[in-house]
Amino acid sequence: EALPTKLEISGTTTALLYLDKFGYMNSTATNPENGALLSEAAVRQAILDFQAFAGLNQTGNLDQETVEMMNRPRCGNRDIIGHGPNTRRRKR
């Protein structure tokens, strides 16, 4: 059986999936998986939040160092907790 493969961050779409997975997209209205329209401001804020958390220059743009950081191996837990599927996980 084929295993899931690593999400390679290469552009806005994959970056938004990453930001959503790790808790930076804080509203269902900005969820890239449900087809809802994304406001430019919400996307920029999510990128800014990630850059701040990762200690990068806070440009709000998906620049090279931001993409490189998103592609680094990491823990699968969320950075920002409080919403999303991860918080509903149960042990058994």
Partner 1 sequence: YALQGSRWRVRDLTYQISKYPTGLKASDVDEEVANAFKVWEDVSNLTFRPTTTGKVHIDIRFEKGEHGDGDPFDGRGGTLAHAYFPIYGGDAHFDDTEQWTIDSFAGTNLFQVAAHEFGHSLGLSHSDVRSALMAPFYRGYERNFELDDDDTRAIQALYGKRESPSQSTPSRVPTAATTRRPSTGAGTAGVLCSDASVDTIVTMADKNTYVFKGSQYWLLTDSSTAPGYPRSTTADWGGLPGNLDAAFTWSNGKTYFLKGSEYWRFSNMTMDPGYPKPISKGFAGIPDNVDSAFVWSGNGKIYFFKNDKYWRFEPTARPPVGAKYPKDVSNWEGIPNNIDAALQYSNGFTYFFKDGMYWRFNDRTFRIDTADPPFPRPAGYWWFGCE
Q: How many CB atoms lie within 10 A of CB 11?
A: 10
* Integer Cα distance of 22 and 31 in angstroms: 12
Tokens 């999510």 sit on residue: 46
Q: Is 74 in the site for partner 1 (CB under 8 A)?
A: yes
Q: Between residues 37 and 90, which has the closer beta carbon with respect to partner 1?
A: 90
Minimum Å gap between C-beta 26 and partner 1 is 15
* From candidates 34, 37, 40, 73, binder to partner 1 by CB under 8 A: 73
For the CB of residue 37, give the shortest distance to partner 1 in the complex, in Å: 27
13 binds partner 1 (CB under 8 A): no
Binding to partner 1 in span 14-33, by CB under 8 A: 22
Cα(3)–Cα(36) distance, integer angstroms: 28
- Report whether 81 contacts 23 (CB < 8 A): yes
Per CB under 8 A, the segment of 26-34, 36-44, 51-59 that binds partner 1 is: 51-59
Residue with the two structure tokens 């699968």: 76
Gap between the Cα atoms of 90 and 63, Å rounded: 36
Q: Per CB under 8 A, does 53 bind partner 1?
A: yes
